[in-house]
Chains A and B, each alone.
Chain A
């Protein structure tokens, strides 16, 4: 089998990439490991999706449905239940060994590859909680899958570690389904999710949020019987004098997301340690010619609208690459003062760039400045900026002699 653009992952990024690549004249194949397209949106039944793209608050499945309908209308082929067994570079692109229940194992050669593989939740093994390993410890997303796609309630009395958005959304969901959420415990001094979720998920249902507090131990042998929680000091270490026992039968973890790119290992693209995703230019092209990255596989986004946006860029670029075969841009974009990360990390000259960034901390009345060789390219003021809320700017095309761009966030001057 042969195609121009192969897209791995039919979540919001992959759906957008496939649509855009087809619109720009490429032959496209979209593969997904699950039985239905939509990715994680299938289980995100709450609303708030699409406020930028559609100026509507859609639920996750409704948002996905619009793209899936467009994919159908475009006559694009989606292979569900399809896994990537092997992936390597070939003379004129990539050669993949795929497998699904209908075709068995089969080879596909493609000129360009778009990795839209999303992100994964950090697990209990990555946050070092002491105690036994009884049943009843779930990532927030696993609990969301069980309730929203399978109709199973994972517990009756639930403690939640971490105040990420999925954790807060699950606190509300569990309350609606009759479970008691005993508390959300956040090690940091402010919630890590959006304010809207703190208000409409926790405050609405009188769920206590304990800041500067963490779970120190899980109790129970067969099933969770409770957790120990303790306040933390400025060094984020537990103050054991403050430790107390909280009875519960379930512990949910909402402790962060990490871009998932294991599948790309054989291609060895350059990675950004700050984002956990491949280094890309504004066309979402990685250091490997013909390999594009988009959505949460590039960096964890706060809104699906941006995930789709990057998918459209990656798909359009992949279609253009098939015709022109250019290389990734090499103008380095460096995150200066107070910036956690910037995507894209590289730019190509002569082309406008959509740039996403996050601040390292909550800051009031600050100015973002982008400059190249001491010359200011862009400036924007923010009343308040918080790390959970990703920001986006559009940078005008750079002249070809540009070597690097520095973007930083500072006090208003």
Chain B
């Protein structure tokens, strides 16, 4: 049976929540409200994050382009996605929201530009 400790980030109270058990049999302690349980359950079962990083471009005045996943992706796939991104070079000028890669690393999320390469 696993025991994990995590810090809830739903409000400034920052409860330290202890999660005991495996699979569907999870018990929570330390949380001061229901939101804490939901946060902790998600963090144990399938933690997800929005990945923000940069990709190389072919333009010397804009050598790297800020990008993000459109939506959250499983945290466990972050480094796999980083490796895919490292192989990419942007050959056209893009604007925020333009898609660079679809369904990255088998997730439903696309990789999109977040900066405007036309400006300046």
Tell me the A residues contacting B by CB distance below 8 Å: 35-38, 42, 45-47, 57, 59-62, 65, 68, 80, 147-151, 173, 176-177, 195-196, 198-200, 203-204, 383-386, 389
Known interface pairs A47-B50, A195-B7, A383-B12; A35-B116 also in contact (CB < 8 Å):
no
CB contacts (< 8 Å) of B104 on chain A: these are: none
> CB distance A204 to B49 under 8 Å?
yes
- Tell me, in angstroms, the Cα distance from A384 to B64 when the chains sit together: 41
- Tell me, in angstroms, the Cα distance from A59 to B56 when the chains sit together: 18
Known interface pairs A59-B114, A151-B63; A68-B119 also in contact (CB < 8 Å):
yes
Partner of B96, one of A61, A149, A200, A203: A61
> CB distance B120 to A47 under 8 Å?
no
- Tell me, in angstroms, the Cα distance from A38 to B11 when the chains sit together: 29
Chain B's closest residue to A386 (CB) is B12
Interface check B88, CB cutoff 8 A: no
- Tell me, in angstroms, the Cα distance from A228 to B114 when the chains sit together: 39
Tell me the B residues contacting A by CB distance below 8 Å: 6-7, 9, 11-14, 49-54, 56, 63-64, 66, 68, 75, 78-79, 82, 95-96, 114-116, 119-120
What is the distance, in angstroms, from A146's C-beta to the closest C-beta of chain B? 10
Number of A-B residue pairs, CB cutoff 8 Å, is 83
With A195-B14, A384-B14, A389-B12 given, name 18 new contacts (CB 8 A). A37-B120, A45-B114, A45-B115, A59-B52, A59-B114, A62-B96, A65-B95, A65-B96, A148-B54, A148-B64, A151-B54, A151-B63, A196-B9, A198-B7, A199-B7, A200-B49, A204-B75, A383-B11
- Tell me, in angstroms, the Cα distance from A200 to B50 when the chains sit together: 11
Known interface pairs A47-B50, A59-B114, A176-B78; A148-B12 also in contact (CB < 8 Å):
no
CB contacts (< 8 Å) of B78 on chain A: these are: 176
Partner of A195, one of B12, B63, B64, B96: B12
- Tell me, in angstroms, the Cα distance from A200 to B56 when the chains sit together: 25
Partner of B66, one of A37, A45, A80, A203: A45
Partner of A61, one of B6, B79, B114: B114
> CB distance A150 to B114 under 8 Å?
no
* Most chain B Cβ neighbours within 10 Å, of A35, A57, A147, A151: A151
- Tell me, in angstroms, the Cα distance from A148 to B119 when the chains sit together: 17
What are 25 A-B interface contacts by the 8 Å CB criterion?
A35-B120, A38-B119, A42-B115, A45-B52, A45-B66, A47-B50, A47-B68, A59-B52, A59-B68, A61-B115, A61-B116, A62-B114, A65-B115, A65-B116, A147-B54, A149-B64, A151-B54, A151-B56, A176-B53, A176-B79, A176-B82, A195-B12, A195-B14, A200-B9, A383-B11
